Amino acid sequence: MFTLSHIHPMLVHFPIALTAVGFLFELIYLLNKKEVCLTKAGYYLLLLGTLAAIVTWLSGELFTAEMEGTSGQIREMHALLATITVILLIITSGIRIYIRAKKKEDNRTLKNLGFILYGLATVSVFVTGNFGGTLVYNYMMPL
């Protein structure tokens, strides 16, 4: 039987995959500047990953049950990290959209800041996923 509590577990993989692959494309582009398609793909994957993260975060806030004890503490950490991840992705997307819209591709400071934040968001999404996985596998609690 399908319930609203199933929505969050079905969505969680999208921001993880989109953000990780997008950042990987950006990293590969840094090593091989000839492949401009990689940074463009990384840009679009960042935008899709940000949208997926927002929807996933909302589904977690709205449709998951409260927990108590150790699992409740882990859930709280998971929720905090998810919020941090969404904020990092929104800021990174904003920077990248600004660079593209204002044609500031030669602004190294903005590009480097965007890349660093993209990397932090990628690490954050992995750590958030680890806490979510801990809830599911160690406490047999569906998110």
Q: Return d(Cα 89, Cα 20) in angstroms, integer.
A: 12
What's the pLDDT band for 2 if we cut at 50, 70, 90?
A: confident
The pTM of the whole model exceeds 0.75? yes
pLDDT(143) > 60: no
User: What Å distances lie between residue 62 and 69, 74, 121, CA to CA?
Assistant: 20, 18, 22
